[in-house]
Amino acid sequence: MKRVLIIFSDTGGGHRAAAEAIRDALLARHPDEVSIEMVDAFRQFSPRPYKYAPEMYPWIVNRSKTAWLVGYRLSDTRGSSRFFSRTMYASLEKGLRRMFEQHPADLVVSVHSMLTRPCLFSLLQFEERPPFMVVVTDLVTTHHFWYDKKVDRCLVPTQPAFERGLKAGLRPDQMRVTGLPVHAQFAARLTDKASARAELGWDAHLPTILLVGGGEGMGPLYKTARALNDRRLRCQLVVIAGRNQKLKANLEAVQWNQPTHIYPFVTNMPVLMAAADILVSKAGPATISEACIAGLPVILYDAIPGQETGNVEYVVNNGAGLFAPSAEEVGQAVSEWLAEGPPGLQRRSENARRLGRPDAVWDIADEVWDYAQRPSIKNPPRRLFGNLAPRTRIRAR
């Protein structure tokens, strides 16, 4: 039985989703041969303030994008990223050691940029360590935190992410472009448009606009939906309010000028995307990857500065969508796309589908399984005051 430890944190839903996708694909491939643990290293093994990172991240990103961008750029060089990672490791050292002692593994996989280097630093303090793999879950403008020359394998979602890894000092043979790990059930549950609309009870003929703001219903969804409503377009509108009950109530109080469907948090996104013609969303990597697998062109209304900036360029440059950073611009874009008729939507759908990599999660699972078979790695002795000093062994508790 091979043991795999996947390290993530709930700073944004993409990290957990990626970890779960890899876990479930690996279990499907090797149901009786692998044991997988998922650990939120910030939440479970870090002191304050790091243990509150899942709460702090959305607060900072949503309320101070300028501050976030400044911090992102300052830390996004070889030297500064290593400095900040070392500084973080000084605070996390005891907790990470405890994590590796309590969760011994044949392979460690990181799906979080800020945890990658501190976890690798920690493993290097032991006499021996398991192989260490990184699965990059940002799409294009990947931060230097993702890349360290001592990792054994680094899987990246796009060619631009691969090229950024080369500039960060990794060798070509250390990396592979696999795509982003979207859960295998997403592609499996996709169906044709007519069947999806029949299942959902939507109009079979009206062009359909799907608005999403993540599981929490974040972003200007209400304002954007109202802007579309004011245009009185020949379409049907679908808005996913997520867990945002106030947003759902506000949407349900609107007098809509076209058939409109309001949903809370959903678990059938493959069916919703299969039934839609246009997706309106923020530039999250998981949502973009899912839309491309579904062949769904996307109008992006927002992007987190830094890590999502390249996502916009990736979508626009490949003809799979455009960027409309205001409710009025979203309304104008949707109006223009609908005026082009089905040929324009079909062309963008094909462009999006060319970017989709539905088999990425299986390729990643196969790489994980391969590296889990490899022997542990003996770390070189540490030097203390010019002399060699022994390292300690990882001892399971």
List of residues 6+ apart from 109 with CB closer than 8 A? 4, 5, 6, 7, 22, 133, 134, 135, 368
CB 312 within 8 A of CB 300: yes
| pLDDT at residue number 383 | 58
| pLDDT at residue number 58 | 78
| pLDDT at residue number 396 | 46
CB 285 within 8 A of CB 137: yes
Pick the CATH number of 2-182+358-389 from 3.60.10.10, 1.10.150.130, 3.40.630.10, 3.40.50.2000: 3.40.50.2000
Q: What is the pLDDT of residues 120-153, one digit of tens each?
A: 999 999 999 999 999 999 999 999 999 999 999 9
Q: What is the pLDDT of residues 348-378, one digit of tens each?
A: 999 999 999 999 999 999 999 999 999 999 9
Least Cα distance to 94 among 125, 73, 62, 139 occurs for 125
User: Distance between alpha carbon 153 and the CA centroid of its chain, in Å?
Assistant: 19
| pLDDT at residue number 255 | 97
Least Cα distance to 371 among 16, 98, 34, 142 occurs for 34
List of residues 6+ apart from 225 with CB closer than 8 A? 211, 237, 239, 251, 254, 260
Judge if 2-182+358-389 and 185-355 fold alike in CATH terms.
Answer: yes
List of residues 6+ apart from 103 with CB closer than 8 A? 5, 37, 39
C-alpha separations of 381 from 265, 373, 389 in Å? 51, 25, 6
List of residues 6+ apart from 141 with CB closer than 8 A? 160, 164, 306, 307, 308, 309, 310, 311
| pLDDT at residue number 385 | 46
Cβ count within 10 A of residue 234? 9
C-alpha separations of 54 from 66, 84, 108, 197, 374 in Å? 20, 19, 21, 36, 33
Q: Which residues of the chain, if any, have pLDDT below 70?
A: 13, 382-397
Which CATH class name applies to 185-355? alpha beta
| pLDDT at residue number 12 | 75
Q: Where are the domains of the chain?
A: 2-182+358-389, 185-355
* pTM as predicted: 0.93
